[in-house]
Amino acid sequence: MTQQSVFTPTDVAGVVNAVQHARHHDLPVSVVAGGHGPWALVEQPGVRIELASLSGVSVDGTTVSIGGGATWGEVAARLAEDGLAISSGDTTTVGVGGLTLGGGIGWMTRCWGLAVDQLVGAQVVTADGTVIETSPQAHPELFWALRGGGGNFGVVTRFDFAAHRLPTVVRAQYAGATDAGAVLRAARDAMIDAPHALTTTYLDVPPMDPSAPPGAALVAVWAGDDEAALREALAGVEAVDGITVEVATCAYRDVLDEPPGFADPEQAPPAFIGGNGLFASLDDDLIDELVALRATYPTSVVLMRSLGGAYGAVPQHSTPFPARDATWFIMAGGFDVPGVVDDAERTSLVADTARIQERRVAQYSNFTHEPSPEAVPEMFTPDAYARLRASKAQWDPRNMFRSNHNIVV
């Protein structure tokens, strides 16, 4: 068998059938769990399971059960009806499954932690076609592995989360400054002791990046309706020369971005040169390097998300997710645009971004788009990686689920 078999199950029994088919023919399994971007998966011989039909959202008090094929936009819209929210991805089309299994950094990370920190149970179809209910009490080691170990252990057909009351949030955007370094220093200083209700994101992109408007902006979200508290916490940013501020109170669902359209969804985007990391601190030298990267390379991108707060209060051993002592997530690099980036610039960009990545504590799997087996151990602590390998050996000894950041036994 050389062609990829595509399964679009409408229920858990259909997922079991797809997994058993893959097992019978000794094929790898790729799982499309919602997700955004037309290049999310590359076709290959094997079995591809598309979970879009398993996208239901049910609410019981503050416990929310979500199908493995749902997207966070669907979830946020449903939860808004009850004044609830879950810390999630920041784009409506981000898949619940992919984001959660990789950890899940989002707008409420400093307030409630990662997506996996709110996970209380899951339903999994394992490599032998068995349907498992897992939680801290049932198959606890598998449950632990799912909370950041990626899609290595089975097909998650349902996620159970503990949601939070959140009728409104405050969103503020700070833009217009000519000195990016001053903005980043002010943001760093403000976030050291900022209330947990506040999370910030800094994004500086070139005009050719379809993911956001060009230029630099710091966006802040406050969990609640206290606009004055948000502005007080970021007063140092607001004081930077040239800064303008736009503030609005809205539902959490309205904070999630709608992805842009692409001119030709059949054409792959330019390759990305660079990487990401979880950083223990944001010192002046690192800020200078990030600012210089954007100034030097016309196709470069810098994305930063503040951590700490509830994220850092979770004990390191509680989940496989690394670097609970990190205070910033940073992605930095550039698009390798044909005809724009020449060999000399490409070589220089590789060197400059590698120097930035040397400072990181760990790599974040959800922003590492290309499979890189040698990088997988850096996505976890040594102890966590050893535990994940043991879980992999128990639940997927034939490595059927390997179309991911693969944990190899």
Predicted confidence (pLDDT) at residue 2 exceeds the cutoff of 60: no
Question: What confidence score (pLDDT) does residue 189 get?
Answer: 98
Last residue of a domain, one of 135, 165, 195: 165
- Structural domain contains residue 33: yes
Question: Which CATH number is 52's domain given?
Answer: 3.30.465.10
- Structural domain contains residue 67: yes
Q: Give the count of domains, the chain.
A: 2
Residues with Cβ within 8 Å of 290's Cβ and at least 6 positions away in sequence, in order, are 184, 302, 304, 330, 332, 356
Last residue of a domain, one of 120, 148, 165: 165
Strands 63-67 and 155-162: antiparallel
- Does one domain contain both 148 and 245? no
- Structural domain contains residue 380: no
Cα separation, 98 vs 50, in Å, equals: 12
Question: What confidence score (pLDDT) does residue 34 get?
Answer: 73
178: left (phi over 0), alpha (psi -120 to 50) or beta: alpha
- Does one domain contain both 189 and 148? no
- Does one domain contain both 45 and 103? yes
- Structural domain contains residue 304: yes
Task: Look at 49-58, 83-92, 192-201, 292-301 and tell me which has the smallest mean pLDDT.
Answer: 83-92
- Structural domain contains residue 393: no
- Does one domain contain both 91 and 201? no
Task: Look at 22-31, 72-81, 269-278 and tell me which has the smallest mean pLDDT.
Answer: 269-278
- Does one domain contain both 116 and 248? no
Domain boundaries, position 291: 169-367
- Please provide the average confidence, as pLDDT, over all residues in the chain: 93
Question: What confidence score (pLDDT) does residue 89 get?
Answer: 83
- Does one domain contain both 235 and 157? no
